[in-house]
Amino acid sequence: MRFTIQSSTKQLNISPATVSRGLNNRENSYISEATKQGVRTVATELGYRPNRAARALVTGRPHVIGMWAQATALPYVSRTLYQAAQHTCASGYEIIVGPIPDVHSPDSQNNLLTEWLVDGILAF
């Protein structure tokens, strides 16, 4: 069985709004900690994973960090990328890697990172 708000409302005998509030874990959600924990337990059992795109639409923050890198610095960049990924993933962020744009090139506006909404960019 896959996790849906409807499947958990039946299992927990609570409203869809209460399930949503339990999943979003907001401070002012007006539901008890026991109810929040019950919602999270059922969600975990049913394999719930939040939809990052939907969350970004609601919050206006994609939780993505862009990383510009030069191919000539690849060994250094790979070690740095690994460390950055560990720290950012632990904080709920993802990393997108793209080449440093050439400001003198007419195609510089077609860079991978300029097409994505990112919270910040690391440049090497």
The model's pLDDT over 88-105, given as tens digits with 9 standing for 90+, comes to 888 888 888 877 766 666
Q: Are residues 64 and 97 in the same domain?
A: yes
Q: Rounded to an integer, what distance in angstroms lies between the CA atom of residue 107 and that of residue 101?
A: 8
* Number of domains making up the chain: 2
Token representation of residue 73: 């610095």
Identify whether 100 is part of a domain.
yes
Domain assignment present for 54: no
Looking at the structure, do residues 28 and 69 belong to the same domain, yes or no? no
Are 63 and 118 contained in the same domain?
A: yes
Q: In this predicted model, what pLDDT tens digit does every residue of 27-76 receive, in sequence order? A: 777 888 899 999 999 999 888 888 888 888 888 888 888 888 776 666 77
Write down the pLDDT at residue 16: 92
Write the CB contacts of 30 (distance below 8 Å, at least 6 apart in sequence).
Answer: 21
Quote the domain boundaries for residue 43. 5-49
| Residue 114: predicted pLDDT | 62
Q: In what helix (H) or strand (E) does residue 23 lie, and over which residues does it extend? A: helix 16-24
Q: Is the pLDDT of residue 14 over 90?
A: yes
